[in-house]
Structure 1
Amino acid sequence: MTEPSFLAAVRKSYDTVAEDYAKLVPPRFATDPLGRGMLAAFAELVRADGGQPVADLGCGPGHVAAHLESLGVPVFGVDLSPKMVEIARRTYPNLRVEVGSMTALDLPDGELGGIVAWWSILHLPPEELPAVFAEFHRVLAPGGHVLVGFHVGDEHLRPERAYGHPVSYDTHLLLPDGVAELLNRAGLNVAARLIQEPGEGLKRQQACLLARKPERS
């Protein structure tokens, strides 16, 4: 099966920027109390529901997965970029990290207690989101939780450079109501949302949505 061109572009671009990304992005995460607050709430919900494994999809250099692990969540990372996976394994040698794609997860049905997609859906064409959210639903156990973070807007951007290097991916800004509707259609009921306004180093509005797969009736 031929790989979609957007996945190849994302892999190549993040292999290129990986080392500089790993130097720049984790320190920003460390100064984001609201985002870390959403992750803390997510972790508490997962623990309360039995502490099944959590997948950090698009984990990059592993800092979010490592943070979740520090909150008592059994977590592993998945990233499309082998270079990002290499950095994550080097930085967090006790963390399980694998090369893979959220578009086709190598996981059985109902395996996970939670999924985090922390600013990792932004390179997916919007028409791919229904299938990706259906994949989230498939691998989540009943009652499992999803936390999705993304940049807010309705623009399709084609940056030529990022993190000091040339890149070939597209970036899609998304509207919270639209993402919430797609999650709901996939059977993932949105329970909470956080909107962060620009300012103090934040260039554009950001959103986090917390959703849950219903328990079996």
Structure 2
Amino acid sequence: MFSDQGPSLRELAVQALSSVERGYDLLAPKFDRTPFRTPDGVLDATAGALRPLGPFGRGLDVCCGTGAGMRTLEAVCRDGIAGVDFSAGMLAQARNAHPDADLVRADVRSLSFDGEFDLAVTFGALGHLLPAERPAVFAGVHRALRPGGLFAFPIGGPPPVTSALYWALLAFDAVMRVRNAVWRPPFVMYYRTCPLGAVRDDLAAAGFGVTTVPLTALGRRDDGAPRARLVLARKAPGPA
């Protein structure tokens, strides 16, 4: 896609008509050559915002995909990193990129970790979760963290209604809703189902204390608002 090394239109069509898991298995070898991979600028901005809050012990990338986000964990964690994803194809790519990481194939809606990590991150995964599924994921991440642990992820600011991006995202979500209404299995990928307010409420319900910081390295919109913020969800510390 958009390059000779990326997926063809036919490959993208096959992926879009598959389940989420099967679609990513198929796309995995070429995923990092598509615009869907989290840009390095976002990863570096996240690492920069996390660095003053660390260093952290052990880190977990939730929905790690090909492992792009693990570069953020490597920059701020000193006791090793791990990743979890349900696509075997994506995990194979992550294993090639990060041979020393612990990689687990699992459904993030039913994570089995228990107090093993000091930092968890996720990049670009919330759109693959229906709003009703977020509480289970956030509860699982909460269990996976040690007392005082941090769950962090970037979230883009809503584009202005007058922008082309606003209408492009609206159109994409509309097409996906039609596709999922007429075709099985569904492919869950939406851009407008995880507004900051709703995400904040779900994190608080899971037991996190939630703050945000602007990712200033990514710039500001014409109205002065940050293009993206880093959500910082902190698990309460244990007894002194």
Quote the Cα distance in structure 2 between the aligned partners of 1:77 and 1:160: 32
**By how many angstroms is 1:214 displaced?**
1.2
Per-residue deviation, 1:145: 0.2
- 1:31 aligned onto 2:41: yes
Looking at CA atoms only, which structure, 1 or 2, has the larger radius of gyration? Answer: 2
2:208 is aligned with 1:188? yes
CA contact (8 A) 2:128 2:189 kept: yes
The alignment status of 1:111 with 2:116, answered yes or no, reads yes
CA distance change for structure 1 residues 181 and 107 in 2, over 3 Å: closer, same or farther? same
Report the counterpart of residue 234 of structure 2 in structure 1.
Answer: 212
**1:190 aligns to what SS in structure 2?**
strand
Contact 2:47 2:73 in 1 (8 A): yes
**Are residue 97 (structure 1) and residue 103 (structure 2) matched?**
yes
Say if 1:71 and 1:216 are closer, same or farther in 2 by CA, change over 3 A: closer
1:54 aligns with 2:74: no
Work out whether residues 59 and 77 of structure 2, in 8 Å CA contact, stay in contact via their aligned partners in 1: no
Is the Cα–Cα contact under 8 Å of residues 122 and 150 in structure 1 kept in the other structure? no
Distance 1:132 1:10, change over 3 A: same
Q: 1:160 offset after TM fit, Å?
A: 9.5
Number of positions where the alignment pairs a residue of Structure 1 with one of Structure 2: 194
Q: Residue 171 of structure 1 is aligned with which of 180, 189, 194?
A: 189
Residue 36 of structure 1 and its aligned partner are, at CA, apart by 2.2
Residue 77 of structure 1: which of 74, 78, 83 is its match?
Answer: 83
**Residue 39 of structure 2 aligns to a residue in which SS?**
helix
Distance in 1 (alpha carbons) for counterparts of 2:219 and 2:49 = 20
- Match of residue 11 from structure 2: none
Q: Which residue of 1 aligns with 2:20?
A: 10
TM-score of the aligned structures, taking structure 1 as reference length:
0.75
Displacement after TM superposition at 1:183 (Å): 0.7
Match among 46, 63, 71 for residue 66 of structure 1: 71
Residue 71 to residue 52, structure 1, CA distance change in 2 (3 Å): closer
| Displacement after TM superposition at 1:149 (Å) | 3.3
Identify if the C-alpha distance between structure 1 residues 67 and 134 changes in structure 2 by more than 3 Å, giving closer, same or farther.
Answer: closer
**Residues 135-160 of structure 1, C-alpha deviation per residue, up to 9 Å, x if partnerless?**
11112111000012345669655189
Which one has a larger percent strand, Structure 1 or Structure 2? 1
- State how far apart, in whole Å, the 2-side matches of 1:87 and 1:15 are: 10
TM-score normalised by the chain length of structure 2: 0.69
Question: Corresponding residue for 1:125?
Answer: 130
Could you report, residue by residue, the CA deviation over 1:156-183 in whole angstroms, capped at 9, with x for unpaired residues?
551899xxxxx95122321101111111
For 1:93 and 1:160, the matched residues in 2 are separated by: 40
More helix by share: 2
How far is 1:197 from its partner? 7.8
